[in-house]
């Protein structure tokens, strides 16, 4: 009877531990990234009353006679099964769709690392990507060229980040020049595109240029095939406006149509500076002639080499640009020639970012450019169930978990990220309630063993009466 009472006590204790685990699972049913645990039992020592006997002399063998001495907890396991997806649309929220853990650290050097499945991150005042408890999320930062570093460090997504300006080097024209534009060689009064005499003098050009003021000679608008303006950037990100005009000048006997191209620099005061072929001028670029064959395709002309002198770039130094006209066409249609293909840009500041499924964090800048600013790192373990919970949705390495294997999402067996989503708790309420019922009944049955054994002992005491 004493054995039965102590066996029942061990059963009460073990079932209480199991109920504690069930209670914790249910309490964390809505905890982000929580992994449910379970408690399993095993029997403990058995008292052997008689050992087993082998068959001999015509008698059969006998089995051992043993009395169990109760039960104990066999294991407390954590289920590392992915939870359901909760969509949040916050770009700092991340979920791992597969194996892996986020790496976080509260050490300035990033050496004291913890691991978590809860991707409810945010940015602090310095742009650090952090957990709700302030642990920095670890990954690979990128340099100013978007090249990822090889060492783990805390990820920083700061609005103070900038994108350096890039000087314009190439300008590409596309579109059409109207083949039905009037040709200046058909008018004997017109001898050129630009008339540089005083505006009050008789003009023999399509345009008058007087004291930096460019104007069309009245009545000669139909000789202009196209006027277009575009912007280029110097190496400090300064913006410079360039105007180009296309005037049809003649058609040769071989049905080659020629267009003169004049280029002007638009000054801040509204005046213009004409590009010339003279080296040392503020704006250098010999006016080219662009030719088209009888199929309307570009034949010859360009590229135009322009140099904006340092007197116009405000300390950025001379700016050399090549303008390509080879994609222009000439058909009997509206003139649409423009310069949509311009490299270079001004300096930009970070305005937003996004996280890819493979962990790359792409920054978007207000100059229209974007680049990778970092990449989230993940860790995995040979035995994830061997990790030790430390609170705050965090785990740490133990002797039985194995050391962390660090990699990137979507590679080497690591799961992809679901940006803008969170992993919900994997607690299964129906299973927990079922386990609660069986645990309560087990606890109740063990308590009955104690009360019944007590009554039996009472009967023994009463024998002397």
In this predicted structure, the answer to whether residue 201 has a pLDDT above a threshold of 70 is: no
Residues 6+ apart with CB under 8 A from 111: 105
Residues 280 and 377 in one domain: no
Distance, C-alpha 458 to centroid of its chain:
74
Residues 181 and 327 in one domain: yes
The mean pLDDT value for 47-63 works out to 84
Among the listed residues 320, 367, 331, the one whose alpha carbon sits nearest the alpha carbon of residue 169: 320
Look up residue 428 and give its two tokens: 């299964």
**What is the separation, in whole angstroms, between the first and last Cα of the chain?**
21
Q: What is the pLDDT of residues 432-443, one digit of tens each?
A: 999 999 999 999
Residues 444 and 330 in one domain: no
Torsion angle in degrees (nearest 10) through CA of 302, 307, 313, 317 = 130
The Cα 226–Cα 63 span in angstroms is 108
Residues 258 and 402 in one domain: no
The mean pLDDT value for 266-276 works out to 92
The mean pLDDT value for 280-297 works out to 92
Q: Which of 320, 342, 364 is the last residue of a domain?
A: 342
**Within-domain flag for 58:** no
Look up residue 382 and give its two tokens: 């040979």
**Within-domain flag for 62:** no
E-state strands within 303-410:
304-308, 319-331, 338-342, 348-355, 360-365, 370-376, 378-380, 388-391, 394-396, 405-407
Ramachandran region of residue 290, left (φ > 0), alpha (ψ -120 to 50) or beta?
beta
pTM metric for this prediction: 0.78
Among the listed residues 465, 359, 430, 457, the one whose alpha carbon sits nearest the alpha carbon of residue 103: 359
Share of the chain residues as helix, strand and coil, in percent rounded to the nearest 5: 15, 45, 40
Average pLDDT score, the chain? 90
**Within-domain flag for 276:** yes
Assess contact for 259 and 225: CB atoms under 8 A: yes
Torsion angle in degrees (nearest 10) through CA of 415, 417, 421, 427 = 20
Q: Which of 299, 320, 342 is the last residue of a domain?
A: 342
Residues 177 and 323 in one domain: yes
The Cα 276–Cα 271 span in angstroms is 16
Residues 182 and 229 in one domain: yes
Least confident of 45-49, 195-199, 331-335: 195-199
In this predicted structure, the answer to whether residue 200 has a pLDDT above a threshold of 70 is: no
**pLDDT class of 465 with cuts at 50, 70, 90:** low
Residues 259 and 387 in one domain: no
Can you give the pLDDT at residue 203?
A: 66
Residues 287 and 336 in one domain: yes
Look up residue 55 and give its two tokens: 């068959």
Look up residue 273 and give its two tokens: 């500076």
Q: What percent of the chain clears pLDDT 90, i.e. is strictly above it? A: 67
In this predicted structure, the answer to whether residue 276 has a pLDDT above a threshold of 80 is: yes
Residues 373 and 281 in one domain: no
Query: How many domains does the chain contain in total?
Result: 3
Can you give the pLDDT at residue 250?
A: 86
* Angle formed at CA 318 by CA 312 and CA 319, multiple of 5 degrees: 95
The Cα 127–Cα 424 span in angstroms is 26
Q: Which of 279, 307, 342 is the last residue of a domain?
A: 342
**pLDDT class of 176 with cuts at 50, 70, 90:** very high
**Within-domain flag for 181:** yes
The mean pLDDT value for 25-48 works out to 90
**Within-domain flag for 439:** yes
Can you give the pLDDT at residue 62?
A: 84
**Within-domain flag for 54:** no
Domain range for 17 is: 2-47+67-80+426-462
Residue 287 exposed, middle or buried by CB count within 10 Å (0-12, 13-18, 19+): middle
In this predicted structure, the answer to whether residue 210 has a pLDDT above a threshold of 90 is: no
Among the listed residues 188, 211, 184, the one whose alpha carbon sits nearest the alpha carbon of residue 200: 211
Residues 157 and 203 in one domain: no
CATH number of residue 248's parent domain: 2.60.98.20
Residues 436 and 418 in one domain: no
Between 271 and 200, the more confident residue is 271
Q: What percent of the chain clears pLDDT 70, i.e. is strictly above it? A: 98
Can you give the pLDDT at residue 197?
A: 60
The mean pLDDT value for 380-400 works out to 93
**Within-domain flag for 321:** yes
Kindly report the number of other CB atoms within 10 A of residue 404's CB atom. 18
**What are the start-end ranges of the H helices in 404-428?**
none
Helices (H) and strands (E) counted in the chain, each on its own, are 2, 36
The Cα 465–Cα 445 span in angstroms is 31
Between 186 and 206, the more confident residue is 206
**Within-domain flag for 60:** no
**Residue 396, CB-side half-sphere exposure with 13 Å CA sphere:** 8
Residues 197 and 335 in one domain: yes
């Amino acid at each position: 009877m004493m054995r039965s009472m102590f066996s029942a006590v061990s059963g009460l204790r073990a079932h209480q531990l199991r109920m504690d685990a069930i209670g914790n699972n249910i309490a964390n049913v809505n905890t982000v990234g929580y992994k449910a645990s379970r408690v399993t039992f095993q029997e403990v020592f058995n008292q052997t009353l008689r050992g087993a006997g082998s068959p001999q002399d015509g008698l059969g063998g006998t089995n051992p006679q043993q009395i169990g001495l109760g039960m104990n907890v066999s294991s407390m396991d954590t289920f590392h099964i992915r939870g359901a997806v909760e969509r949040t649309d916050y770009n700092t929220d991340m979920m791992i769709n597969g194996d892996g853990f986020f790496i976080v650290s509260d050490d300035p050097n990033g050496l004291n690392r913890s691991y978590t499945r809860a991707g409810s991150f945010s940015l602090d005042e310095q742009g650090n990507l952090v957990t709700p408890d302030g642990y920095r999320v670890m990954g690979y930062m990128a340099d100013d060229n978007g090249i990822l570093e090889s060492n783990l460090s805390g990820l920083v997504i700061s609005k103070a980040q900038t994108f350096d300006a890039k000087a314009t080097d190439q300008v590409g024209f596309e579109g059409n020049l109207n083949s039905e534009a009037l040709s200046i060689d058909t008018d004997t009064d017109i001898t050129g595109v630009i008339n540089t005499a005083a505006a009050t003098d008789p003009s023999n050009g399509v345009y008058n240029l007087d004291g930096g003021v460019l104007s069309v000679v009245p009545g000669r608008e139909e000789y202009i095939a196209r006027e277009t303006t575009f912007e280029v950037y110097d190496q400090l990100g300064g913006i410079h406006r360039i105007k180009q005009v296309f005037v049809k000048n003649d058609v040769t006997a071989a049905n080659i149509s020629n267009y003169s191209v004049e280029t002007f620099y638009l000054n801040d005061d509204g005046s213009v500076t004409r590009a010339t072929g003279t080296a040392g001028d503020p704006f250098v670029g010999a006016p080219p002639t662009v030719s088209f064959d009888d199929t309307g395709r570009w034949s010859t002309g360009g590229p135009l080499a322009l140099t904006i002198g340092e007197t116009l770039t405000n300390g950025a130094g001379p700016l050399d640009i090549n303008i390509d006209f080879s994609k222009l066409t000439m058909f009997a249609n509206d003139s649409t020639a423009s310069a949509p293909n311009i490299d270079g840009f001004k300096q930009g500041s970070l305005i937003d970012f996004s996280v890819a499924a493979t962990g790359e964090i792409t920054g978007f800048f207000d100059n229209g450019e974007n680049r990778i600013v970092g990449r989230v790192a993940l860790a995995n373990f040979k035995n994830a169930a061997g990790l030790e919970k430390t609170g705050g949705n965090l785990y740490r390495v133990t002797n039985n978990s194995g050391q962390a294997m660090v990699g990137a999402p979507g590679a080497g067996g690591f799961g992809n990220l679901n940006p803008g989503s969170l992993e919900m708790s994997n607690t299964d309420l129906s299973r927990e309630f079922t386990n609660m019922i069986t645990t309560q009944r087990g606890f109740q049955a063990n308590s009955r063993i104690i009360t019944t054994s007590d009554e039996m002992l009472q009967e023994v005491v009463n024998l002397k009466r």
